A and B are shown apart, each in its own frame.
Chain A
Amino acid sequence: MSEVFFGASVLRKEDEALLRGKGKFVDDVKMPGMLHAAFVRSSVAHAKIRRFNKQAALDLPGVHAVITHEDLPEPMRSRHLPLYVPNPHMKQVFMPSVLVKEETVFVGETLAIVVADSRYIAEDAAALVIVDYEDLPAVVDPRAAIVVNSPLAQATAGDNIIAQVPIHFGDTDAAFLKAAHVFSESFFMHRGGPFFMECRGVVAQWDDATQKLMMFASSQGSHRFKRAFIDLCDFDESQVQVITNDVGGGFGPKGSFYVEYAATAAASMILGRPVKWIEDRRENFTATQQERDQYWDMEVAVDDSGKLLGLRGRLVHDAGAYVTWGLVLPWIAATSVIGPYVLPAYHLELIVAMTNKVTCSPVRGAGRPQGCFVMERMMDRIARELQIDRAEVRRRNFIQPNQMPYNVGLTFRDGKPAIYDSGDYPKSQQIALDYFDYAGFEERRKAALRGGRYIGIGISNAVEGTGLGPYEGATIRISTSGKIVVYTGATPQGQSHQTTLAQIAADHLGVSYDDIRVVTGDTSSIPFGMGTFASRTAVNAGSSVHLASIEVANKVKKLASELLEVSPDDLVLKDGGVEVLGVPEMRKSLRELAHISSGMYGFSMKGDRDPGLEATSYFKPEQSTYANSCHVAEVEVDIETGHVKVTRVLVNHDCGRVINPMIVEGQIVGGVAHGIGNALFEQLLFDENGQPLTTSFAEYLIPMATDMPKVDVIHTETPSPLNPIGVKGAGEGGTIAVIAAIVSAIENALIPFDVTLATMPVTPEQIVLLTRNKTSFVAASKRYKTHG
C-alpha cells in the first residue's frame, strides 16, 4: 500500500452539501404529524415545587399536553439519568430525574414540557404554566459551599462536597523543606460554556405498532443517547435508534445526555406523535452544561537554578447541581498541571463542590487549560523571582526526549497511569521561539514603548492526554454495487470525519477518498460506539478504519487470487478493482468481487469463503496518547481602556502523524479562538441568588473576526507508538495552552506597572484597575531592566 491520501491536505467531502444549504441538521427534520415542544423552566436557583397550575396553558388552542413528572411513563418516572462515569471517590451522587419531582436546584431546570401544534404556541403556553415555589437558600460560590454549616445545594445532601481526594506522588514535604525558594499564588479560572452556533435539539418518534423509539439528535455520540434510553425505559437493543446527521458544533457539552431528550421522547410516547424540541439561545445559556469555575491555592518549591522540586495546594471545583460527568473534569485539570516538566513531588487536595448552578461538563480542553495555566503561571513567577528568562526556566525543567516513555506518577482520567508515550518538548519550544523571533522581542518592545505602546510576549507549553478509550469501531463494507461505506459510532460536529476516515481507508482499498462514503452517528449502522469527544476519533476510529480496511483488502485479494489463480501477494488494489502487479489486464472489479462473495441463490458457497466483503474492528487503546504544543503569543495592551489586542499567535503542535494538515490547522486555529475568548472575555456571571446574568450573546461575548490575530501553525510529527497509524488527538490542542500564553503576554506587557495576573479571563476592568496607580511605574522600572 502506498500512502496517497493519508497525510494529504485533500478538500472536504462535507463541504458541498453545507455550502449549498443542503446540510441535514436536527431542526431540518420534518415528520408527518409532528408536534413541537417547549419547556417550563425553573426561575429560581433552589426551591421546593409545591404545585403546578396547568389550566391556562391547557386551555390555549393548539396545546396538546402539559407534562410534569407525575405524568411520565414508568419506569422513566421513577429513575434518574444514569451516571456513566462513576468514581469510587464520590461520596454522594445526585443525578436529575427527567422532570423535576419536588426540588429544583438551578435556574433553567426542566419542570414541565409543553407540546403544541407549533413552537410559537408551545412557548406561549409554557409561559402560562403557574409554578408555586417554596424558596430554599441557594449555594453559589463553591468556596462558600464547602464551609461547615453552609446551606445545602441539595436538601437531602449531607453537605455540599461530592468528593475530597488527595492526588499526589513523591514526597512534597521533603521537597518544600529543602527548597531554596517557595512561591505561592491563588488562581481563579473560569471557562464559560461551549456556545456552539446550533443549539441543542431532538426529534423523537415513538411508534406504538413496533414499540420502537426513533430519535434524531444534535449530539456528539448517538450511541450514548441510545444507552441512556435503554437504561431509562428498560428497552432492548432493537427498540431504540438514534440518528445524528449534521451537528452545528459540540465542544463537549453536546456529548451529555440531557433530561430534555428523555422528556421529548416521553411526550411522543404519551401523545403517539413525533415531537420536536429545539433549544433557544436563552435556554442554551441557562440549561446547557458549562465548564465554569475553579479556585486553586498553590505553592511551588524550586532550587537555586529554578528547577521544580514540588508543587502543592488545593483545588476547589464548582460542579454545579448534578454530577453527570463524575470527577472527570477536575481530575483532568489536576493531572494536566504537570505538563512537559519534570516535577518530583506533587500533592493536590481536590475538592469538588455542589452549587445551585447548571451542571458542569467538559468544554474543549476539559480542565487541561486550567492545569496548564497553573504550571505556566508558576513558571513565569519563578522566572521573574529568580530573574531567569522565561524560556530558559522552562528549558531547565523539560522532560527530555530520552526519558520517553515518561511516567508522571499519577493516574490519568482514562484510569491508567499517566505515561507520556512520545514527544520532544525542548525542541518543540525551540522551534516555536525561533519561528516567532522570541530573541528579537525586546527590540520590538523598546520601539513600541517609545511610541507609548505596551506590548508583551508570552510562552506556554502543554501536554495533552488524547485519544481516550475505551474504543471506537468501524465497519467497512463493499456493496455489490462496488460502493464502499465506512460505518462508525464516532459522531462529528465539524471535525471532518467524512474526509479523514475516508482518507485512511482509501489508501488500503485502492480508490479515491471521494469514492468512500462515511456514515457516522447512526446507531443502526454499528452496534457499539462512544462518540466524538476528548480528541479521540483519529486515534480510536482512525485506527479501527485502518485495521478494518486491511482486513477487507485482504479478503478482496484472497478472493481475487482464487479467481485469477495467482498469489495474493502479487495483487494490488487499484482504481476500484484488484489486479496482478505489472499485468493490469488481469483484473477483477470490486463490484464483481462483491457479487461473487455474496454467493448465488441456492448454490453451495465455494471454498472457505465468508459471505460479503466486509470487516469490523474496534480499536481499544491501551492508554491515552499524549500530544503536546508550544504556544507563543504577542499582545498589545491599551492601559487607558484595558483593551488587549492579541497581535500574533504561533502554535507548534505535535499530534503525531497528521492525516490531513489542512484540517488539523483548522482545528488548531479554531481552538485558539476559543482560548482567546477564555483568556479575555468569556464569563458566565451569576448573582448571589444563583440567577444567571449572562443569557444572551449581548452579555456573553465570544470572539469575533476582529478579535483574532494572525495564527501560524507548525505541525511537528512525533508518531505515537500506541496505535497502528501513529496519531494523537488534535481537536483541543489549539485551546489548551493559548490562554496561559496570552495572560503571560499581558503580564509581560505590563512589566512597567509591576502587575501579577492569576486569573482567566483577564478583563479590561482588571487591567485598568491594576495600571491606574502609575507611580508603580517608577518602582518597577528597576525590575523591568533586568527582566526578559
Chain B
Amino acid sequence: MSETRTITVELNGRSYTRTIPTRLLLADFLRHEIDLTGTHVGCEHGVCGACTVLVNGTSARSCLMFAVQADGQNITTIEGLAEVNGSLSVLQQCFHEHHALQCGFCTPGILMTLTEHLRDNPEPDEVELRTLLTGNLCRCTGYQAIVKAGLEAARCMREQGGLK
C-alpha cells in the first residue's frame, strides 16, 4: 500500500516528475499532486465523465486510471485548452456564448470529450453529439445548450479552416 514509484508525465505541454503511491488515481494526481484542480471527480466509478482528460489525445476517465499508468504519456486537461495567446478556445467560447454551463462541475469532462470528437469529426450532427455526450452526465443544463455549443463550435472551426 505504501509502495511508491517515480513517474514523469507531459501535462499540458510541461513535464512533471513526481514520486507517488502506486495506487494513486490519475484524477487525484492531477488535482492534488500537481494542483491542477480543473479536472473534477464526480462519481469515482467511471459513469459521470466529469474527470475525463486526454491521454495521448484520446479521452480517458482519470478516476479509473492509476497515475503510474500515465508515466511517459502526454496528458491534456481543461487547463490546457485555451489558445497559445491565452484566449478561450473556440469550443470554450461557444460554451460561454450559448450558456452551455451552469454550475460548471461537469464542464471540464464535457469540454475534453467534445475537443477530442470535434478534432476528428469536423462535421458532426446533433444525434452524433448527443450520443457522444451519453458518457458525460450533467444535472443542470438538460444538455440542450451543450449540444448547441458543440455544433456551433464545429461550424466556427470549419470556417476558420481547422482547429486548435
Residues of A within 8 A of B66 (CB): none
Residues of B within 8 A of A22 (CB): 38, 79
B45 to chain A, nearest CB (A): 6
Q: Which residue of A lies closest to B92 (CB)?
A: A19
**Which of A28, A199, A493, A705 lies in contact with B143, CB distance below 8 A?**
A705
Q: If the complex has contacts A697-B45, A705-B147, are A197 and B50 also in contact, measured as CB distance less than 8 A?
A: yes
Interface of chain B, main secondary structure: loop
- Contact of B153 with A by CB under 8 A: no
Pairwise interchain contact B103-A493, C-beta atoms closer than 8 A: yes
- Contact of A67 with B by CB under 8 A: no
Within 8 A of A (CB), among B118-132: 129-132
Whole-angstrom distance between the alpha carbons of A667 and B106 in the complex? Answer: 16
Residues of B within 8 A of A671 (CB): 142
- Contact of B7 with A by CB under 8 A: no
Most chain B beta-carbon neighbours within 10 Å: one of A15, A667, A671, A672: A15
Pairwise interchain contact A698-B47, C-beta atoms closer than 8 A: yes
Pairwise interchain contact B134-A16, C-beta atoms closer than 8 A: no
Q: If the complex has contacts A22-B38, A673-B143, A704-B137, are A666 and B78 also in contact, measured as CB distance less than 8 A?
A: no
Pairwise interchain contact B40-A198, C-beta atoms closer than 8 A: yes
**Which of B39, B44, B45 lies in contact with A21, CB distance below 8 A?**
B39
- Contact of B29 with A by CB under 8 A: no
Pairwise interchain contact B42-A21, C-beta atoms closer than 8 A: no
Pairwise interchain contact B140-A281, C-beta atoms closer than 8 A: no
Within 8 A of A (CB), among B49-100: 50, 77-79, 81-82, 88, 92, 95-97, 99
Interface size (B, Cβ < 8 Å)?
59
Residues of A within 8 A of B105 (CB): 23, 25, 196-198, 246, 248-249
Pairwise interchain contact B99-A18, C-beta atoms closer than 8 A: no
Pairwise interchain contact B142-A711, C-beta atoms closer than 8 A: yes
Q: Which residue of A lies closest to B88 (CB)?
A: A19
B123 to chain A, nearest CB (A): 19
Interface size (A, Cβ < 8 Å)?
58
Interface of chain A, main secondary structure: loop
- Contact of A91 with B by CB under 8 A: no
Q: Which residue of B lies closest to A672 (CB)?
A: B142
Residues of B within 8 A of A494 (CB): 102-104, 140
Pairwise interchain contact B42-A20, C-beta atoms closer than 8 A: no
Residues of B within 8 A of A618 (CB): none
- Contact of A56 with B by CB under 8 A: no
- Contact of B9 with A by CB under 8 A: no
- Contact of A61 with B by CB under 8 A: yes
Q: If the complex has contacts A494-B103, A704-B137, A706-B131, are A248 and B40 also in contact, measured as CB distance less than 8 A?
A: yes
Q: How many pairs, one residue from A and one from B, have CB atoms within 8 Å of each other in the complex?
A: 172
B12-45 interface code vs A (CB 8 A; 1 in, 0 out)? 0000000001011000000110011111111111
Most chain B beta-carbon neighbours within 10 Å: one of A14, A666, A667: A666
Residues of A within 8 A of B4 (CB): none
- Contact of B11 with A by CB under 8 A: no
A738 to chain B, nearest CB (A): 11
Whole-angstrom distance between the alpha carbons of A272 and B22 in the complex? Answer: 30
A509 to chain B, nearest CB (A): 24
- Contact of B115 with A by CB under 8 A: no
Whole-angstrom distance between the alpha carbons of A281 and B99 in the complex? Answer: 27
- Contact of B146 with A by CB under 8 A: yes
Pairwise interchain contact B140-A670, C-beta atoms closer than 8 A: yes
A444-476 interface code vs B (CB 8 A; 1 in, 0 out)? 000000000000000000000000000000000
A663-676 interface code vs B (CB 8 A; 1 in, 0 out)? 10111011111100
Whole-angstrom distance between the alpha carbons of A665 and B148 in the complex? Answer: 14
Q: Which residue of A lies closest to B43 (CB)?
A: A281
- Contact of A662 with B by CB under 8 A: yes
- Contact of A329 with B by CB under 8 A: no
- Contact of A280 with B by CB under 8 A: yes
Whole-angstrom distance between the alpha carbons of A702 and B108 in the complex? Answer: 19
Pairwise interchain contact A708-B104, C-beta atoms closer than 8 A: no
- Contact of A696 with B by CB under 8 A: yes
Q: Which residue of A lies closest to B145 (CB)?
A: A666
Residues of A within 8 A of B40 (CB): 25, 197-198, 248
Q: Which residue of A lies closest to B103 (CB)?
A: A494
- Contact of A247 with B by CB under 8 A: yes
Q: Which residue of A lies closest to B146 (CB)?
A: A705
A691 to chain B, nearest CB (A): 19
Pairwise interchain contact A702-B137, C-beta atoms closer than 8 A: yes
The list of the 5 closest CB pairs from A to B, nearest first, reads: A21-B38, A248-B105, A494-B103, A18-B104, A494-B102
Binding site for B on A (CB under 8 A): 11-12, 14-16, 18-23, 25, 27-28, 30, 61, 120, 124, 194-199, 246-249, 251, 280-281, 493-496, 662-663, 665-667, 669-674, 696-698, 702-706, 708, 710-711, 734
